[in-house]
């Protein structure tokens, strides 16, 4: 048992990590039992915490980026894990659907891409656009028309992409996939789009229609809403830069005002969130989409028409 | 200006939840402090950057090692930065120690701050250190900047170990009083 005064004398050295291990252990044991010394120790330790701050020398600006990147590489941010998992889930679901297909199924006609093989090839080539942006190695598509080889190549690439993006900066900019102008967005958005397109093509082959979880639907809607103003400016300038509101019901629903925070809107469009996501994939048509319009009818039609052009087809 | 511990609690919760924006906020708030400290101890740009990176990556990787109810995050980061910087000094070897030791125990220069760190705090700390009697300042700065144990301090200064312990304790206690009087010290 070390005497109280011995420990008390030692507290300064202890606060500066200047005791040997045995002494430090004795101090710690004493502090658990002696409230006076514990209070004093906290006070001295706190003074040490300020000691080196007598001069200012800011870190170089470029250090911030490398610190945040190193941190993310050690422990991926939770929101990013959620997004990569959402994409991985869609990859697994489509892969399971393709695994069950017979040679006849693979040749089933698809209005956009010839048959299912064409469709998987199209999906893989859109995935490859992102892989290339991230400098990930390209996985060559098979030269045969064997659907099973196609499936393996697509999945191999998707898995390589998942491994590659796990440690990437979600905020870095990349080009989205799609026909025509490919908007520059964050990698975060690109990953939402990859999961979205993968789901859309699973819908195309008529596999069991499992709808993505509400959070994923919401992310798809958010991306579509974010892309709409620029898309309107390009394809329908007369209806661009207007104020409107989208009120979506059902799974993944919500309320979006464009531009955000606009006090007054010219039209409010109401529909189902999953239907709206399918519209954005060009899998639903505005005229058959059950929806409500309050306000400028023409503006609503323009918005829905342009929304249907946002997908990757 | 006592720091708002509730801020630390909230930031800590976000770090635990894996919110990387919280790390960016912590970095923006304290990187100047951590880097200044590392620079002061190592006097080496590359080492100071490595220490700064280590400190914030460690905070992100092991947020559960910090307990906001036991102390301010600022102080925790500083203690951590100091210990990493001292490790660097030790790794670098004893041959350089004599030279930097002389620089470290000199009273801090009364330079004008141009940084973003709260200038009042910097000034208060500098003045509090400068106001210490020379023998106490010498002892505490040797221990702080060079990572010397009290036995090494005693040997370096040619004083009994008991005197070294007493000087360290008294110096820190005076500093704590000064910082407390200015409302800086966390309670």
Query: Which range is least confidently modeled, A15-19, A84-88, B182-186?
Result: B182-186
Q: How far is Cα A114 from Cα A99, in angstroms, rounded to an integer?
A: 20
Task: Give dist(CA A120, CA A142) in Å, integer.
Answer: 12
Distance of residue A172 Cα from the nearest chain B Cα, in angstroms = 14
Contact flag A58-B140 (C-beta cutoff 8 Å): no
Residues of chain B with C-beta less than 8 angstroms from the C-beta of A14: none
In three-state form (DSSP H/G/I as H, E/B as E, the rest C), the secondary structure along chain A is CCCHHHHHHHHHHHHCCCCCHHHHHHHHHHHHHCHHHHHHHHHHHHHHHHHCCCCCCCCCCHHHHHHHHHHHHHCCCHHHHHHHHHHHHHHHHHHHHHHCCCHHHHCCEECCCEEHHHHHHHHHHHHHHHHHHCCCCCCCCCCCCCHHHHHHHHHHHHHHHHHHHCCCCCCCEEECCCCCCCCEEEHHHHHHHHHHHHHHHHHHCCCCCCCCCHHHHHHHHHHHHHHHHHHHHHHCHHHCCCCEEEEEECCCCEEEEECCCCCCCCEEEEEEHHHHHHHHCCCCCHHHCCCEEEECHHHHHHHHHHHCCCCCC
Band of residue B17 on the pLDDT scale cut at 50, 70, 90: very high
- In the predicted model, what is the mean pLDDT of residues A195-212? 88
Please determine, for residue B15, whether its predicted confidence score (pLDDT) is greater than 70. Answer: yes
Nearest to A59 among B31, B169, B176 (CB): B31
- Band of residue B187 on the pLDDT scale cut at 50, 70, 90: low
Per-residue confidence (pLDDT) for residue B184, from 0 to 100: 74
Mean pLDDT of B160-166: 96
Q: What is the mean pLDDT of residues A278-305?
A: 96
Cβ of B172 within 8 Å of Cβ of A68? The answer is no
CB proximity under 8 Å: B 116-145 to A: 116-117, 119, 121-122, 125-126, 129, 140, 143-145
pLDDT on residue A33: 92
pLDDT value at residue B117: 45
**Which of A13, A85, A168 to mutate to probe the B interface, most B CBs <10 Å?**
A13
CA–CA distance, A166 with A168 (Å, rounded to integer): 6
- Mean pLDDT, rounded, for A25-33: 93
Would you say residue A30 has pLDDT above 50? yes
> In the prediction, which pLDDT does B119 show?
63
CATH for A214-307 is 3.30.1050.10
Pairing verdict, β A244-249 and A254-258: antiparallel
- Residue with more model confidence, B53 or B93: B53
CATH topology of domain A76-204: 1.20.120
pLDDT value of position A55: 75
Of A5-14, A49-58, B62-71, B162-171, least confident by mean pLDDT is: A49-58
Please indicate whether residue A186 or residue B95 has the higher confidence score (pLDDT). A186
CATH number of B94-187: 1.10.10.10
Q: Is residue A39 less than 8 Å (CB to CB) from chain B?
A: no
CB contact under 8 A, B33 and A53: yes
Tens of pLDDT along B35-54? 998 998 888 999 999 999 99
Residue with tokens 């290339």: A132
Q: What ipTM, to 2 d.p.?
A: 0.79
Contacts with B, A 16-35, CB within 8 Å: 16-20
pLDDT confidence of residue B94: 53
Please report residues of B whose CB lies closer than 8 A to that of A66.
53
What CATH number does the domain located at B1-92 have? 1.10.1740.10
Looking at residue A175, its pLDDT comes to 95
Closest residue to B35, CB basis, from A12, A57, A78: A57
Q: Is the pLDDT of residue B104 over 80?
A: no
Q: For chain B, give every domain's residue range.
A: 1-92, 94-187
Q: In the prediction, which pLDDT does B91 show? A: 87
For A99-156, how does the pLDDT look when each residue is reduced to its tens digit (9 = 90+)? Answer: 989 999 999 999 899 999 999 999 999 999 999 999 998 899 888 888 999 999 999 9
DSSP structure class, residue B41: H
Q: Which residues pair with A246 in a beta bridge?
A: A256, A269
- The confidence score (pLDDT) of residue B118 equals 54
Instruction: Read off the pLDDT of each residue in A258-265 and give the average, rounded to a whole number.
Output: 92
B-chain residues near A74 (CB < 8 A): 57, 60-61
Measured CA to CA, the distance from residue A152 to residue B73 in angstroms comes to 49
Q: Is the pLDDT of residue B126 over 90?
A: no
Best residue of B15, B53, B61 to probe chain A, by most A CBs closer than 10 Å:
B53
Of A186, A254, A185, nearest to A221 (Cα)? A254
What DSSP state is assigned to residue B108?
Answer: P
Q: What is the pTM of this model?
A: 0.75
Note the pLDDT of residue A53. Answer: 75
Residues 6+ apart with CB under 8 A from A44: A11, A12, A14, A15, B169, B172, B173, B176
Q: Is A67–B53 a contact, with Cβ atoms under 8 angstroms apart?
A: yes
pLDDT at position B112 over 60? no
């Amino acid at each position: 048992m070390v005497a109280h005064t011995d420990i008390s004398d030692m507290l300064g050295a202890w606060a500066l990590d200047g005791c040997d291990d045995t002494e430090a252990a004795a101090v710690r044991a004493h502090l658990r039992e002696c409230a006076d010394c514990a209070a004093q120790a906290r006070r001295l330790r706190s003074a040490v915490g300020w000691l080196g701050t007598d001069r200012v020398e800011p870190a170089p600006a470029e250090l911030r980026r490398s610190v945040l990147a190193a941190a993310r590489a050690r422990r991926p941010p939770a929101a990013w894990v959620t997004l990569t998992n959402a994409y991985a889930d869609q990859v697994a679901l489509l892969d399971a659907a393709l695994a069950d297909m017979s040679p006849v199924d693979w040749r089933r006609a698809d209005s956009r891409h010839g048959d299912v093989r064409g469709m998987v090839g199209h999906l893989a080539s859109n995935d490859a656009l992102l892989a290339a942006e991230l400098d990930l190695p390209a996985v060559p598509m098979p030269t045969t028309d064997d659907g099973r080889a196609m499936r393996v190549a697509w999945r191999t690439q998707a898995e390589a992409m998942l491994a590659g993006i796990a440690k990437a900066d979600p905020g870095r900019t990349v080009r989205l996939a799609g026909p025509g102008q490919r908007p520059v967005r964050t990698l975060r958005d690109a990953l939402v789009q990859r999961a979205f397109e993968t789901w859309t093509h699973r819908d195309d082959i008529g596999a069991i229609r499992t709808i993505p979880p509400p959070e994923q639907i919401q992310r798809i809607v958010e991306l579509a809403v974010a892309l709409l103003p620029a898309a309107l400016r390009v394809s329908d300038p007369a209806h661009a830069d207007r104020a409107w509101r989208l009120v979506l019901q059902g799974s993944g629903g919500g309320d979006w005002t464009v531009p955000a925070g606009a006090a007054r809107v010219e039209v409010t469009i109401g529909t189902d969130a999953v239907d709206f996501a399918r519209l954005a994939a060009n899998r639903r048509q505005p005229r058959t989409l059950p929806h409500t319009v309050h306000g400028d009818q023409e503006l609503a039609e323009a918005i829905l028409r342009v929304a249907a052009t946002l997908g990757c087809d | 200006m006592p720091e708002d511990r509730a801020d630390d609690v909230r930031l800590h919760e976000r770090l635990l939840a894996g919110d990387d924006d919280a790390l960016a906020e912590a970095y923006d708030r304290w990187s100047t402090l951590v880097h200044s400290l590392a620079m002061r101890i190592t006097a080496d740009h590359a080492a100071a950057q490595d220490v700064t990176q280590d400190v914030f990556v460690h905070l992100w990787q092991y947020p559960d090692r910090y307990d906001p109810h036991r102390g301010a995050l600022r102080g925790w980061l500083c203690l951590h930065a100091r210990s990493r910087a001292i490790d660097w000094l030790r790794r670098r070897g004893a041959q350089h120690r004599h030279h930097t030791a002389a620089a470290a125990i000199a009273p801090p220069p009364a330079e004008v701050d141009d940084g973003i760190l709260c200038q009042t705090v910097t000034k208060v700390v500098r003045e509090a250190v400068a106001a210490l009697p020379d023998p106490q300042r010498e002892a505490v700065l040797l221990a702080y900047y060079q990572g010397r144990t009290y036995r090494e301090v005693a040997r370096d200064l040619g004083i009994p170990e008991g005197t070294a312990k007493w000087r360290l304790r008294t110096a820190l206690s005076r500093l704590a009083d000064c910082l407390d009087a200015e409302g800086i010290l966390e309670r």
